[in-house]
Amino acid sequence: MSSPQDDLSELFSKVGFEDKKAKEIAKNKKVASLLQTILSKSDATSYDDEKKLALLHQLAVAENKQGKEVPHVELLINAINKGDIRTTVQLSEGVKFLNAREGQSAPEQVDFDEATGVGINVSEEEAKDLISKYLDTIKEEVESKRYSILPKVMSDVKAQPVLKWAPPNLFKPILDSLFLERIGPKDERDAKKKEKKKSKSSEIETENGIGKENAGKKKSGASANNTGKEEKDDEKEERSMFSEGFLGDLHKPGEEPQMYPELLKEHNEFIKGQVYTRFPPEPNGFLHIGHSKAIMVNFGYAQFNNGKCYLRFDDTNPEAEEEVYFNSIKEMVSWLGFKPWKVTYSSDYFDELYEFAIQLIKLDKAYICHCTAEEVKLSRGQKEDGTLGGERFACKHRSQDIEHNLKEFENMKLGKYAVGEATLRMKQDLNSPSPQMWDLVAYRVLNKPHHRTGSKWKIYPTYDFTHCLVDSMENITHSLCTTEFILSRESYEWLCDALRVYRPAQREYGRLNLTGTIMSKRKIAKLVNEGHVRGWDDPRLYTLEGIKRRGVPPGAILSFINTLGVTTNATNIQTTRFESAVRSYLDQSTPRLFLVLNPVEVHIDNLDDSFELEVEIPYKPGVDVNKLGNRRMVFRNKIYIDRGDVIDTPADKEFYRLAPGQPVGLMRVPFNISFKSLEHRDGKTIVHVNYDEIKEGKPKKPKTYIQWVPVNDCIHVKEVRIYNQLFKSENPGAHPDGYLADLAEESESVLLNAVIESNFSEIVDKSPMNLEIPNSQFNIKELEGPNTIRFQALREGYFCVDKDSKGVGENELILNRIVTLKEDANK
């Protein structure tokens, strides 16, 4: 009689797998079972195409890895069978797309095809042309780093929107031939040099501990001969995102490629070999979790290299800017532990930018355009249906003479034109494949007073005109931005070169996205305005204000980003992974307390009212008492326990807590309690128990221990707000009825009767505790605030004080749950 494994092996052989491969797959029971299910859903009974079989096998592996079947998996199976999906990249994108629609109706075929690149055929010639154009944008970097940059370039081109659908076997030969053509064959410059191991003994104090000298440093006192604990501790130290990957490969200050190399002299005299970066937010909204990566990349990279970072407000749109956003951004940068070298504003440079615009006109590289928005779109090749690809042509105003343009620009400045009637456009390259070179707008009319310059200006520069020139004036060495600005690099460099000013080096990294939430200002505003959340700082939102109010420590955010690293690919992370990182950080940095969320009074009948037992409990086991200390609680005959920890019927095998015939232990109390009865008196429930006498010097070990709080020595909590994910799915925007239809009904629940041990008052007095986490680069010293009063409620989760609290007295305290503890099936 054949075994199940043999039967599966035979099935796989029949559908087309080679016998050896069929047996290999059948050995993995989980994958084999999933593959069997996939094949049962396929219309094909056998395959003569090994690639299709390999993709079906990969689909089974993907399902096994995520622990569940892909929703609407038939779409993937059919696409593989028809040959629409031919690569693992398409398969991977399809799995992601369908996973995001779990619990929803099947997507339209056109949406599925778009998500998986169906019908996009990239020829070798097209791939070579696109890769060549990309290499043009990093020409100087290729010439300086030569073949050492090839792996990074390979990764970058594979991430390009069109190229990711190209056959994988095209990239290497194309890149090899293009590198050979551009920089010649490999020579001694490309030989890998063995670097000497740098000494780790020197230490320089920097904010956040971010610095080359602190990256991976050994503990004080560790010697070269130590092979014991110190060495093990070193192995646990955090890696630094600033010394490897994208940031580790960046050029040195003073090596910025220039069309006019003589411009570097003055620049280098200013920077003196130091890194200069900037974080340039628009003050038109609150920052979110994605901005924390930008803050850390720019401030952290400068700090790591002992350089300087500006906080520069890109305040060129007075219609959208409000004082509350300026203040919030400053606070969030400080909260994350960074201090700007200087706080500047794009408006500081309005006079200089205006002069640059005049200069550009005089160079015949800018002109006044009176086209409507629709006419501009048409000239840029936008068809009537809104898609690109139509014929591009020059604006009818493009050939106006210089004097006319100067006069018209002056008229714009004097307010002689209404909004939309005139713009200053740059005269770029309409034949370029990049939309960023199709005569971008440099200045527009805005009849709105500016918060800093008042009514001085009727015209304001655009981001595309302002950004690179202010970078230049501030001598930025590394203009670091996210990959949606890759195409903008060409226009950025064009404008600097056209005006013959120092050209900073713009370099792009992948942005941070969290799934299961939304980041759009417009969508969050709708949630706030319609009352779905408590405000922009609602703890369920992933605005930085919301994350702070929720109680997440800033060091946890920085540690999380550091573990992700920085690459040129966008990082899409589930909120559960973020919460896991926060939980790990809190586990190492918070004291422990007893909190009872749903209390029920317990009377220990065989202890009299005079009984007292003082117990001493460490705030955090394993931590030096001098750092955190112990706390004392007095155990008496009346206590609170959680209502969920007691039942009045015999317990089944899944229930480990207090029940008839099943005693339970009380944390740090030297005896167990046994259930007697449940009484309902005066509208409340009282549990009657006995303590179990110790007969042979040692109490019988219970199945579990529970937390407790003395009835006459506790703090009654006004509210405990339990937060869960705001949306039901990982992709709220994909809901067919809109993201509001995806809101989870119980994303916030409020408990009104919780009690906490009175030692909580001591934690309040000691907060912020700023406990240092060993081997971490991100021990941020926080300032006072309710969000810094954090603790672990044993068996319940991590909590902090909410800003709505009026104090810590009776029924004044409001707590937020930050994250849960790790799930325990036997809790």
Residue burial 542-565, b: 16+ Cβ < 10 Å; e: rest = bbbbbbbbbbbbbbbbbbbbbebb
715 pairs with which residues across the strands?
756
Rounded to whole angstroms, how far apart are CA atoms 128 and 112? 27
The CA-atom distances, in angstroms, between 8 and each of 29, 45, 53, 88 are 9, 15, 15, 24
The 3-state DSSP composition of the chain as helix, strand, coil percent (nearest 5) reads 40, 15, 45
Structure tokens at 674: 């046994």
Rounded to whole angstroms, how far apart are CA atoms 702 and 692? 11
Rounded to whole angstroms, how far apart are CA atoms 312 and 27? 59
Backbone angles phi, psi at 284, to 5 degrees: -120, 15
60 pairs with which residues across the strands?
none
204 and 213 Cβ atoms separated by less than 8 Å: yes
The CA-atom distances, in angstroms, between 184 and each of 133, 137, 174, 190 are 18, 19, 14, 11
| Amino acid at residue number 93 | E
537 and 748 Cβ atoms separated by less than 8 Å: no
Instruction: Report the phi/psi class of residue 789: left, alpha or beta, with left for phi > 0 and alpha for psi in -120 to 50.
Output: beta
CB neighbours of residue 259 within 10 Å: 12
Sequence-ordered alpha helix ranges (H) in 150-228: 150-158, 171-183
- Residues written for the chain: 827
Q: What SS3 state is found at 723? A: strand
66 and 87 Cβ atoms separated by less than 8 Å: no
The residue written with tokens 């604006």 in the block is 395
Q: How many helices (H) and strands (E) does the chain have?
A: 27, 29
Backbone angles phi, psi at 224, to 5 degrees: -65, -25
Residue 749 DSSP class: E
Least Cα distance to 656 among 648, 641, 646, 666 occurs for: 646
Rounded to whole angstroms, how far apart are CA atoms 464 and 506? 13
Rounded to whole angstroms, how far apart are CA atoms 689 and 694? 16
| Positive or negative torsion for Cα 558, 563, 567, 571 | negative
Question: 638-642 and 714-716 as β-strands: parallel, antiparallel, unpaired?
Answer: unpaired
**Catalytic site positions:** 282, 511, 521
594 and 756 Cβ atoms separated by less than 8 Å: yes
322 and 534 Cβ atoms separated by less than 8 Å: no
Rounded to whole angstroms, how far apart are CA atoms 488 and 495? 11
Rounded to whole angstroms, how far apart are CA atoms 538 and 54? 47
Residue 436 DSSP class: G
Please name the residues in contact with 73: beta carbons below 8 A apart, sequence gap of 6 or more.
38, 41, 59, 63, 98
Question: 638-642 and 599-604 as β-strands: parallel, antiparallel, unpaired?
Answer: antiparallel
Torsion on CA atoms 154, 155, 160, 163, rounded to nearest 10: 50
Least Cα distance to 315 among 485, 448, 452 occurs for: 452
